[in-house]
Amino acid sequence: MAAVQRALRGLDVGSTEATQILSWANSETPAIYDRDQTAYLVLGSYRDSYLRRVRAVSDRLNRRYGTYAFLIGDLTDIDIPRLPEFRVKFHITATLSDYVAAVFEQDAGGEVNELGKLGETEYFEKAYAFPRAYHWEMEGNFATERDVLAAGAQIMAATDVDEETKAAELEALVDRAEHAGIDITVDDVISKLEDQQIDVPSYSWVHLNDFRLFELHGRCYPWTTVDELLGATDELPGSPRPSWEQQ
């Protein structure tokens, strides 16, 4: 119920609603907090093509010993029409899970809200982000000039941000590149991007800032193919996949 109070910002919950929530929790969540299992809440878009990849992450995790990975959509509904049900489910399951794995592929949809919830709550410490085609922005991940150009293209393609902010971000990007030993100027970045085609998703500025936060904490796993996504999934903490399956 403490998680419910966080979800509802202290809103009073009626006795009938509280009973329904607790009944739902008693029915749906025991597997999440089983002492002998590592529980993973897997977040992402439920749109058809995206959902398949979210399911792939969940299935991959469930191949590990003593693991229970699940989607909120796998759980039954709570009969609480007055209350925001998804918020209640999210806070209860995120509280009880050992880790949260979030797959992002676009700059719109419910994933934006989920990313914000992870970045601004106590769940951040157990969360890992898997953004499709995100390009590293921090100097520790710059190996070549191409890495800097890809990050520059990502900044230029960002939505919901003005040109002045983009210019300032390019300046900061070049400074980080110099610290990484890559000699390049803002003018170089702009001119080379005009000559080269670098495909990047048009993530919102909110997305990019939160991805950078995960990157700084070492919990960001970019991917472009399903194989890369599954390989990154194997990097999550917890029990490993069976040795026979990895051969």
3-state helix, strand, coil in the chain (%, to 5): 55, 10, 35
Section 160-171 average pLDDT: 94
Closest CA to 101 of 56, 41, 49: 41
Least confident among 13-22, 25-34, 72-81, 221-230: 25-34
Confidence label for 246 from pLDDT (cuts 50, 70 and 90):
low
The H helix count followed by the E strand count for the chain is 10, 4
pLDDT tens digits for range 8-47: 999 999 999 999 999 999 999 988 887 789 999 999 988 8
Q: Is the pLDDT of residue 79 over 80?
A: yes
pLDDT of residue 244: 62
